Amino acid sequence: MNYTTKLLAALAMSVSVAGMAAADGHANLEGKTIGVAVVGTQHFWDREAFNGAVDTVKELGGTVVPVDGGRDNQVHADNHDILLNQGVDAVISILGDGAVEPKFEALKNAGIPVFTVDHQSPHAVNNTTSDNYYMGTTIGRYMADAIGGEGKVAVFNAFEGALRICGIRTGLWKYVLQDYPGIEIIQPELAEEFANAPEDARKKTLDLLSQYPEGTLDAIHVGCWDQPAIGIVQALEEAGRTDVLVTALDGGPDTLEIMAEDGSPFVANVAQQPNLIGSTAARNVAAHFAGETLLPQTFVDVFPVNGQAEAKAAYKELGYGSLD
């Protein structure tokens, strides 16, 4: 099976999984008001997950109260207070850091069920997320292969301690690297900014490159997402150091485009389906109100992307258009 057919088969399967709840017929959100809180809408991933959730709630007959944190975790957390105050029937909360936990608890105590996206919480009914375990191990293997199993690697890792999904992704990446004693992770690890990631990562990469001259650095990995990779590739091109390879996660259209360029240093990625994730979260809300018992986590499939050809294929299959 070539890559495209693999991808198509997997896509068909994941859609059918997601379609099951709706197919039950009685699962709808008629007369329900659902708060949808998202940390920000500037980035593709956040926006798509948010749109997926909002569109599906409407499709199922519910009313949406959308709130947007403007890529500020504090504002995002505070927005939950407003949803609580507005007396919504359920809340779908997309991303967010530890600041939202007490807000979830307050919502739960008020009898408002919380459904999270990419954020595991003891106070949530269900968390819809990608298969982060698979993402972490796969990107570890791809990166190790790309640098021939040995060398020095820098990692942007601001959120391993703050977000559980990042803990999983980066933790498993490191777990895989344990079996490659020739690979060394440069200390201290780098920390990218949340709000202005590409520009911030560009500056930090330029600093890094001046510290590690040609031949002493083999790859830069972004532990939990892909926005910093945009700035990293820029910096590598500016400094003429495209021998340093780049790997990241999320696989949004912007980073797939970069991977698809000829001679791109950006060699491996794992693409998610954010719209489907948001949509699945909304269907889970409907299932919950229909009396179904949900598992603590719903996993949505991901697509490993290894190299230029697979990037072009994934771009097309995920419906972002054509790069040929």
Tokens for 71, please give them.
Answer: 């890529």
**Cβ atoms of residues 34 and 62 within 8 Å:** yes
Smallest Cα–Cα separation from 95: which of 65, 110, 75? 75
Q: Is the distance from CB of 252 to CB of 46 less than 8 angstroms?
A: no
Q: Considering only residues 55, 72, 199, 317, which one is a binding residue for other proteins as defined by CB under 8 A? A: 72
* Distance from C-alpha of 292 to C-alpha of 56, rounded to nearest angstrom: 18
Instruction: Count Cβ neighbours within 10 Å for each residue of 97-119 and write b for 16 or more, e otherwise.
Output: beebbebbeebbeeebbbbbbbb
**Closest CB to other proteins among 93 and 280?**
93
Tokens of 23: 């197919």
Nearer to other proteins (CB atom), residue 188 or residue 213:
188
* Among 14, 56, 73, 306, interactor with other proteins by CB under 8 A: 73
| Contact call for residue 110 and other proteins (CB under 8 A) | no
User: Is residue 173 a contact residue for other proteins (CB under 8 A)?
Assistant: no
**162 lines the binding site for other proteins (CB under 8 A):** yes
The size of the interface with other proteins (CB under 8 A), counted in residues, is 33
Backbone phi, then psi, for 267, in 5-degree steps? Answer: -110, -20
Does 268 sit near other proteins (CB under 8 A)? no
86 binds other proteins (CB under 8 A): yes
Q: Is 149 in the site for other proteins (CB under 8 A)?
A: no
Tell me the window of 49-57, 61-69, 257-265, 267-275 that interacts with other proteins (CB under 8 A): 61-69
- Report if residue 85 touches other proteins, rule: CB under 8 A: yes
- The answer to whether residues 92 and 115 touch, using CB atoms and an 8 Å cutoff, is yes
State the residues that interact with other proteins by CB under 8 A: 65-70, 72-75, 77-79, 81-82, 85-87, 97-99, 101-102, 158-159, 161-162, 188, 191-195
